[in-house]
Amino acid sequence: MEDRKMDLYGVGPKIFKPTIIFGVAALVISLIFPRIFLMTFLPSAVFNILGGILLGLGLAFLFISGTAMKKAVAEERLEKSGTFAIVRNPLYFAWISFIFPGSAIASQAWLLFGMSFVAYYKFLQYIPEEEARLEEVFGKEYMDYKKEVPAIVPNMKELL
């Protein structure tokens, strides 16, 4: 009998470690050279509001997805409903699309937008490893799910 036990974090640490290192370096550079690397073309309040909206959306998406995933892992089943019905990796999607850009906007440090690019690059590099494990554990069920739901760009037809 195959081992159906799943790791709650998957390849997340491999994706986020270099992303956070980049983010810290970008933030330090932005603080050392604010005239070059800080966005000042709008009032700070505008950046705070826009960044806050993105952060709020991202954190809500992260919470909803994380709660569903934690429950599915505990029950040793494949989660395919809710946010997982529109994108296979909603937690990575939340970070890449909302949280990292929201942080860049709220802090006014445009270099922080690079965190999304680093995370997406690392996602593409490491997600095959996570998907291979999911195929091992869930077999045809995961293969069918993989055919129906995109990896990181949400399935817009499911939202309409």
Task: Work out the angle between the directed axes of helices 140-148 and 114-138 (0-180°, nearest 10).
Answer: 140
Q: Is the dihedral of CA 70, 73, 74, 75 positive or negative?
A: positive
| 160, pLDDT greater than 80 | no
Residues 6+ apart with CB under 8 A from 76: 4, 5, 6
pTM to 2 decimals? 0.87
Do the beta carbons of residue 102 and residue 55 sit within 8 Å?
yes
pLDDT at 146 over 70: yes
Cα–Cα distance for residue pair 142/107, rounded to 1 Å: 39
* Mean pLDDT, residues 110-128 taken together: 95
What would the mean pLDDT of 44-58 be, rounded to a whole number? 96
